Amino acid sequence: MEGDWKLLDFEGIRRLLEKLSATPMGADAARNLGPAPSVAAARQLQEAITAARFGLESGAGPVLPELPDPRPALRQAATPGAALSGQAFRNLHRILRVGQELRAFVEARPALLPLGAAVLDAAGSLIDAIDAMLLPNGSVREDGNDTLRRLHSELKQEREAVQRQIQPHLRGGGKAHWAGQRLSVHLPDGSREEIRGVRRGAGPGGHGTVVEPMELVALNNHLEKISGTIEQENQSVLRALTDEVRALLPALQKLVDALTWLDLAIAGAQLSLHLQAQAAELVEEPILQFEGAVHPQLWLAHVDHRGPKPKPLSVRIDAENPILVVTGPNTGGKSVSLKTVGLLAVMARCGLHVPVSGRAVVGHFHKIFVDMGDPQSMAFALSTFSGHIDMLKKLLAEADASTLILLDELGTGTDPEEGAAMAMAVLDELARRGVRGMVTTHLTPIKSFAAEHPALQNASMRFDHERLEPTYELEIGVPGKSLGLLIAEKSGLPVELVREARGYLARLHQGA
């Protein structure tokens, strides 16, 4: 579904999914989520979310733990001769373990993961390889191989020897001081002991003096040499382990893809619970049907006690009623209704559940055109009407029977009569092409035009005439009424003036 669906507040849905994600990979997937390329692809995520929600509601799981991001390490490992750090290996170890733990959940509910459960532990042999060579903190094990065992044994013996050599220098109040593999004497401030050796600077915290006795210099040099050899061998071990990672990169990438998918599905399931949503019926033909639909953000605001309970709306856009024309005064909720329908259509095509109380059917639209609010650009000094015209030019150049349109306040920005005439011509052309969608306007002539046009259906936002306020309820088949004079009269404007205004209105209608 190509188009300007970002104008429908879909970015807010992405942010909600990102917050619900447990991994950096899932968060990235949430930020980049868009309509699936096919109905089958959308159904896969939808079914995974349904399976994940069942697990959350039943307590059967899975719940994905927070995980590190292995992708930089995998990119590094792809380079021959690279050596991953010990921490990178421990991160991979964590990822591999979680993959193995998740396999049972996917085997029990295959819809969770279209890739199949086997990908979750296809690289499981790395776990034993890492455990054999690395400690839980990522350090290379001293007994990782014969060379390391020999070197660490030699290092231990040499350290014991140098510690014996330094003992005579510690009787006068000095303390042993290690700096890497070099052992020196830390003399406190005011010490009168004289040691023939190399001054190594101030002691810890800037107090006292560190001196390396001459008889220890050669021994310390030997310790550093052994330590350097150990570090070289450690790097050889890490390179060898990295070679094993490189050999398993395809399996590891599939594991990362699987964890990303599961994270997104579980986040989608949590969002479904918060919205009290359900899966829509996804079909190939261009159709939209929502029963008892609410805008997700308005519903969440209500649940969080930050707003009133939104009024549910029901719409059906199909071959019999291709274009819904919502008329009536401003501030009545027309734009919110338009956004609700559009946003839920995009969510369903992504595979997400939608907040409806009844049936939801969403067809396959190849393109979606959205024109919300004022599209003018200050940078190019375009007028409101010019901005609308630019959008209409693009719409008319590309729209066909697989296009969904969501046009807010069609025909505004110019003289009302000219704007209405333009809107009628555009709607007539779109209807001829079999375009489906929803249009809002407050221009009166369009109501009678929609009532007579076989492809258009009137609708309006209900208004409480007694309380003089909108109810935000969408009413299908009933055109919106002009309420300006009624509101003026009940708001206290002189009765004679309102009566005269009605007379002028009648003359205007006769002239029309």
* Matching fold, domains 146-239 and 278-481: no
Cis, bond preceding 62 (omega within 30 deg of 0): yes
pLDDT in tens, 166-175: 888 887 778 8
Q: What is the mean pLDDT of residues 5-30?
A: 93
CA–CA distance, 276 with 300 (Å, rounded to integer): 10
Q: Which two tokens stand for residue 490?
A: 């009940």
Q: Which two tokens stand for residue 172?
A: 């006068």
Q: Residue 273: what pLDDT?
A: 97
48: pLDDT strictly greater than 60 = yes
465: pLDDT strictly greater than 70 = no
Q: What topology does CATH give the domain 278-481?
A: Rossmann fold (3.40.50)
Q: Are 348 and 360 in contact (CB under 8 A)?
A: yes
Q: Residue 333: what pLDDT?
A: 78
Q: Of 61-75, 162-176, 227-241, 308-322, which gets the smallest average pLDDT?
A: 162-176
Q: Residue 307: what pLDDT?
A: 85
Q: Which of 55, 33, 45, 59 is nearest to 111 (CA)?
A: 45
User: What b-and-e string marks burial along 275-284, b requiring 16 or more CB atoms within 10 Å of the CB?
Assistant: bebbbbebee
CA–CA distance, 114 with 367 (Å, rounded to integer): 27
pLDDT in tens, 441-450: 888 888 889 8
User: Between residues 309 and 352, which one has the greater pLDDT?
Assistant: 352
Those residues whose C-beta lies under 8 Å from the C-beta of residue 242, and which sit 6 or more positions away, are: 77, 82, 83, 84
Q: Are 16 and 271 in contact (CB under 8 A)?
A: yes
H/E stretch holding 510 reads: helix 495-511
What are 407's strand-pairing partners? 371, 439
Q: What is the mean pLDDT of residues 324-340?
A: 80
Q: Residue 377: what pLDDT?
A: 39
Q: Residue 498: what pLDDT?
A: 79
Q: Are 476 and 374 in contact (CB under 8 A)?
A: no
- 376: pLDDT confidence band, cut at 50, 70 and 90? very low
Backbone φ and ψ for 152, nearest 5 degrees, come out as -70, -35
C-alpha torsion angle, residues 88, 91, 96, 100 (rounded to 10): 170
Q: What topology does CATH give the domain 2-123+248-271?
A: MutS, DNA mismatch repair protein; Chain A, domain 3 (1.10.1420)
- 380: pLDDT confidence band, cut at 50, 70 and 90? very low
Domain extents for the chain? 2-123+248-271, 146-239, 278-481
28: pLDDT strictly greater than 50 = yes
470: pLDDT strictly greater than 80 = no
CATH code at 146-239 = 1.10.1420
- 467: pLDDT confidence band, cut at 50, 70 and 90? low
Helix (H, G, I), strand (E, B) or coil at 177: strand
Q: Residue 175: what pLDDT?
A: 87
The alpha carbon of 232 is separated from its chain's Cα centroid by a whole number of angstroms, namely: 43
